[in-house]
Structure 1
């Protein structure tokens, strides 16, 4: 199957959103959402068991450090495997590769099921690490195959739709993973819930595998490519290719920053809610719901209006507007007082909503998340469209490596802030400073765009 973008007659026959129900998009959509759910449900279940369930995990360390370390269990294997996976996705039919990735997920979920059944944090950690490795294969393959299956005009809509629903599924996974393993008071383990989680995650993996079997062919551009299986040199080689393609590198760095700042929030909020704001896990869930749905709103805005000419080539100005909004509203979270509970024990969601600081706090959280969604979606389409099809998967693997480097650097930054015992809002200040730098560059490029080659346009 050649790139659909090379067939203008077929492209004209499709309606704006007709691709959504086609085999070149619908199976990919389903298997992405199922993988996203399992990643987040497993990770957040493990974090909930550590933070609220009282399970021993590096118990000599404070929770502000233990939670980031738990996150590294997922991102570490992703980083190691991703560059190798990018090479494989340029050598092997990407449709076939997606099938094998989903088959592997079933085996991993069987391991996770054992960990949930026994409430064994060590087995769950192994399963989470394996899911990180599996995601390392999936990410560059998905990003390389999208321009192969979608036309240029469909690409920004497809990315917006995929990511908009990904954020919803992230939310459901985060809530589901937390809710299933804790009891009704959200502060102790629910053994029956952990057993239910084991069955549910395995079922979701099976749905993803079935969807993957319907993926169309996606022939690899270089079937005779010699693969370097040494992780370190493969990673440096992938990053080197990215630096030789600066038009692709620039949006990938923006995407990496998006995930870095998202990591700061997702990793900081559990301990911030419990230890600083003094509320229970129900408040954490509320904040995750609002933040994730708001990112989806930003993504849908891009899907509907991202091709408007007012945003300039490839919606560069829309992305710039998004990161400026992030700076403004996260800066407001830093400046404004956070709602806190001064009573005995941890406050409830009802007590959180009654706090006089809550409305403004939640408004800033919602608006920063909407602008965050507007920032990242155009960048994903830019990187995919600009990448040479001959080594697109390897370039996308470089993007995934950079993404995880930013995630890991953010995680280590959080650990450093905790060790130095800096003020609780220090992570948010880190986000504002980094986003301000990105915003300055985005504004400059929206005024003075660079001409570059786009493939399939």
Structure 2
């Protein structure tokens, strides 16, 4: 990996990212320029009897998405088996060949040939899809992955927007429109291939893989492979739901603009512009809001915003002033329509916040040897969800529902689906609580977080100051943490439920409850054996005077048990600072959580993380001295 960069935009100056970014952006722009120009041509210019204008968009969209269902599984295998840059260049060569055929189709006005090219461009995108998301984790560090995905998401939606706008403008040029579209498509294909030439090598992750060319059996196998990691699989479902949600709005923009907003084609295009800018803005905000880690706590925030503003879009669409068909200029002079545009921008912004961390999580948590096949499974599910979205929207319209009512149903369904996903995968909810606490209740600063291992077993040893110490540690770590905690904290309302949801391990003194004591160390050993992070508060309880207490011997028992299992887990010393006297800590004159604002809002607190210690070097007193030294840093 290269040296850390100041922000996600700096990646555009680095060879490991910039050529790939421009390659994928050129491909996304070309897909949409070609499809939209062809749709406009069939709808307004060709008059093909066997392809009525009312069905043109549907047929073109279905043909484009069909290869995702048929060939995604094969594409995932090929990506895992072969060097990724080689695949990217092959796909870009294929795009040039397809665009040469498409140029003939545009010049001759040959709809059948162009439909064949739609299918082939769908195949091109199907082959590129697994490479697109499997390449990034190989060249970006964990701290760069959210920003990199945000840049790719932003670039994709801006390219889609520009492609659609360019396709509509070029094909409408009198006399030369078809030729202009042909040249633009071919030019974008060549530009993408040129950029691909500069992408550095990305080695194969499973070169010994034997490709199964049966798409049906391999599709089923890919879905089973993804299901092997339940957090990843349910995240795939979450992303597919996002595509369902987005497809409802994108497919209804023309009808919404015409029948509800009383706007012309320019207004429909403006809705697409606002939606694309919102997605791009949300995607770029992810790195800032996540402190450059994979922060899946943003996913519930995104889901909440999606439902709130999709629902408000329904209410904003009611009672609009009556008018004739308006051009964009007249539309923008009406204050009532600004609320509609703001709702649309914000629901798409929160969609960006929702999707980017999920993609980053899948990339980081998927095993490298079959990461591309899991991305392929995601593409299959995305395609299925978008098809279901189109069918359901069509059925609701036929049943007499209005477009705003469909938006309202989608908002309600999104809230229900999101709640279901977050209860199935409580890690999202827990990280959301940690994110809110560390940014909205406290101003939380982490120093030395590069010492928290991004892979493998480790023991995190921290001082214990408040009832929310565990939540703050969750906010600091890019990975899930299993906590060994005093059994009495589980009796605290709300927090006890939260820690049980986090699968925290209750521990009691051996003399008081031998069974709980023994079970705690047994479970701790399982956590480390599985290669996960285990956090322990060696003081054995929350401090009553704000001072660092004596470290108990429990940590030595955990280390010895891990070594007996053949696990050499390093110990990472940590110190929470400035929490004493806050709402969730005790104070010398009273208990915790009795005066809500005794230190005001947004109190600055911190976590200092020290360099890991080899397990063999750890003893309670020297470890306590390390933590004390971190505390002294303030």
Residues 37-186 of structure 1 mapped to structure 2, 5 A cutoff:
37-51=29-43, 55-56=47-48, 63=54, 66-182=56-172
What is the rounded CA distance, in whole Å, between the counterparts of 2:531 and 2:31 in structure 1? 35
Q: Secondary structure at the match of 2:213?
A: coil
CA displacement at 1:434 relative to structure 2:
2.9
Q: Which stretches in structure 1 are left out of the alignment for 5+ residues?
A: 5-10, 184-189
CA displacement at 1:159 relative to structure 2:
0.5
CA deviation digits over 1:207-236, x for unaligned, max 9? 100111222222212222111112211111
Residues 46-445 of structure 1 mapped to structure 2, 5 A cutoff:
46-51=38-43, 55-56=47-48, 63=54, 66-182=56-172, 190-307=174-291, 314-337=294-317, 342-343=323-324, 346-441=325-420, 444=423, 445=426
CA displacement at 1:275 relative to structure 2:
4.7
Partners of 2:74 and 2:212 within 8 A in 1: yes
CA deviation digits over 1:47-96, x for unaligned, max 9? 333555574476668x3x65333311111112211110000111111110
Give the stretch that moved more between structures: 264-273 or 325-334. Answer: 264-273
CA displacement at 1:373 relative to structure 2:
1.1
What is the rounded CA distance, in whole Å, between the counterparts of 1:379 and 1:270 in structure 2? 30
What is the rounded CA distance, in whole Å, between the counterparts of 1:359 and 1:26 in structure 2? 36
What is the rounded CA distance, in whole Å, between the counterparts of 1:91 and 1:22 in structure 2? 26
Match of 2:590 in 1: none
Partners of 1:238 and 1:398 within 8 A in 2: yes
Partners of 2:60 and 2:118 within 8 A in 1: no
CA deviation digits over 1:380-421, x for unaligned, max 9? 111100000011111111111111111121122233334434
Q: Aligned in 2, Cα 1:417/1:42: closer, same or farther, shift over 3 Å?
A: farther
Q: TM-score, normalised by structure 1?
A: 0.87
CA deviation digits over 1:243-302, x for unaligned, max 9? 111121122222212222222222221233235544321111111111111211111111
CA deviation digits over 1:191-216, x for unaligned, max 9? 42222111011101101001112222
Partners of 1:277 and 1:340 within 8 A in 2: no
Partners of 2:297 and 2:430 within 8 A in 1: no
Match of 1:30 in 2: 22
Partners of 2:80 and 2:371 within 8 A in 1: yes
Match of 1:8 in 2: none
What is the rounded CA distance, in whole Å, between the counterparts of 1:152 and 1:180 in structure 2? 42
Q: Does 1 or 2 have the higher relative contact order (CA < 8 Å, sep 6+)?
A: 1
Give the stretch that moved more between structures: 440-449 or 65-74. Answer: 440-449
Q: Secondary structure at the match of 2:297?
A: helix
What is the rounded CA distance, in whole Å, between the counterparts of 1:276 and 1:50 in structure 2? 25
What is the rounded CA distance, in whole Å, between the counterparts of 2:46 and 2:255 in structure 1? 14
What is the rounded CA distance, in whole Å, between the counterparts of 2:217 and 2:244 in structure 1? 24
RMSD of Structure 2 on Structure 1 (CA): 2.6
Which structure shows the bigger proportion of residues in strand conformation? 2
Q: Aligned in 2, Cα 1:245/1:139: closer, same or farther, shift over 3 Å?
A: same
What is the rounded CA distance, in whole Å, between the counterparts of 1:161 and 1:168 in structure 2? 10
CA deviation digits over 1:152-181, x for unaligned, max 9? 111111101111122111111121112222
Partners of 1:320 and 1:442 within 8 A in 2: no
Partners of 2:29 and 2:163 within 8 A in 1: yes
Structure showing greater radius of gyration is 2
Which structure shows the bigger proportion of residues in helix conformation? 1
What is the rounded CA distance, in whole Å, between the counterparts of 2:76 and 2:410 in structure 1? 29
Q: Aligned in 2, Cα 1:271/1:126: closer, same or farther, shift over 3 Å?
A: farther
Partners of 1:161 and 1:303 within 8 A in 2: no
Q: Aligned in 2, Cα 1:13/1:277: closer, same or farther, shift over 3 Å?
A: closer
Q: TM-score, normalised by structure 2?
A: 0.64
CA deviation digits over 1:81-140, x for unaligned, max 9? 111000011111111011100000001111222222233333322212111111111011
Partners of 1:260 and 1:407 within 8 A in 2: yes
Match of 1:186 in 2: none
**Number of residue pairs aligned between Structure 1 and Structure 2:** 432
Q: Which stretches in structure 2 are left out of the alignment for 5+ residues?
A: 432-479, 482-529, 533-634
